[in-house]
Amino acid sequence: MTDLLKGFGIAITRPLDQAKNLSAAIEQQGGNSILFPLIAISPLSDYSTFDEKISELKQADWAIFISSNAVDNAMPRIIKHYGIVPSKLKFAAIGPQTAKQLASYGVQHVLIPNERFDSEALLALSEMHAVNHQRIIIFRGIGGRELLAETLQQRGAKLDFAECYQRINPQINCKLLDQLWQENKCHALVVTSSEAMRNLLAMTHQGNDEWIRNIAICVNHARIAEEASAAGLEVYIASASGDASMLSCLQQALQKKLHLPLK
């Protein structure tokens, strides 16, 4: 155990089940993790439309999974429907965590980007350029970015969505974080999705509340930082995906924010 984060309170805004590993890593470095999810993953109330989509999987060329949440909410229903995954279906995922989750359901060969893990990086792969007349089904939650679908359609793909979960904001306000900041018990905030950032800004008068203007915000992608930076907040971007890079980002942010010497 190290003490690089000793004495620091760090709020994690991920869904609770996705915050466990980072929370444990923060505690191992002496910090105090504060679980404050700004997104909760909820099943759909009606899966009839989704079930119609997966009945067409045998005719599809590609299944693209946007997140591990999409995997967990889609794959059990796919396996229940087919017994096994359609053998000719090719799989792609935004990043290694999503691919790892697919592997837990028996999908061993998954196309993923090599470095940056986002829609742009996936679209840059040669396989995603050769999609003319191919049928692609994107598995995701309700709503989300349209860049991936729009670009693949421009390249000639026949595109459809299979939406299998919804995201909600479980918080009413940010009074807890405000109070902890006033008590010098909250020093940094981890935000790893654009939707969570939008929820955060909405609950802090678009970033104008005093506490959020005096806290280090760490994100894992430049896109997530855009709105917060535009609001004048101090945002730090991890150099790569994964908890190790986020821990490094937190260390550097706190050292800079609080003018601490490097350890």
Residue with tokens 């009945």: 55
Q: Is residue 119 located within the same domain as residue 71? A: yes
Task: Give the integer Cα–Cα distance in Å for 14 and 191.
Answer: 7
Domain boundary (167, 194, 220) is at 167
Residues in the chain: 263
In this prediction the pTM is 0.79
Say yes or no to pLDDT of 174 above 90.
yes
Q: Is residue 93 located within the same domain as residue 192? A: no
Residue with tokens 């010098």: 184
DSSP alpha helix (H) spans, 109-146 = 119-123
Categorize the per-residue pLDDT at 263 as very low, low, confident or very high, splitting at 50, 70 and 90: very low
Say yes or no to pLDDT of 43 above 90.
yes
Q: Is residue 61 located within the same domain as residue 78? A: yes
Instruction: Give mean pLDDT, residues 111-115.
Output: 90
Choice between 177 and 257, residue whose per-residue pLDDT is larger: 177
Q: Which helix (H) or strand (E) holds 188?
A: strand 188-191
Q: Which domain holds residue 21?
A: 9-39+172-257
Categorize the per-residue pLDDT at 66 as very low, low, confident or very high, splitting at 50, 70 and 90: very high
Q: What DSSP state is assigned to residue 8? A: -
**Kindly report the CA angle at 180 between 179 and 185, in degrees rounded to 5?**
155
Task: Give the integer Cα–Cα distance in Å for 13 and 191.
Answer: 6
Instruction: Give mean pLDDT, residues 169-193.
Output: 96
Residue 258's pLDDT is: 61
Domain boundary (124, 152, 167) is at 167
Categorize the per-residue pLDDT at 262 as very low, low, confident or very high, splitting at 50, 70 and 90: very low
Domain boundary (116, 144, 167) is at 167
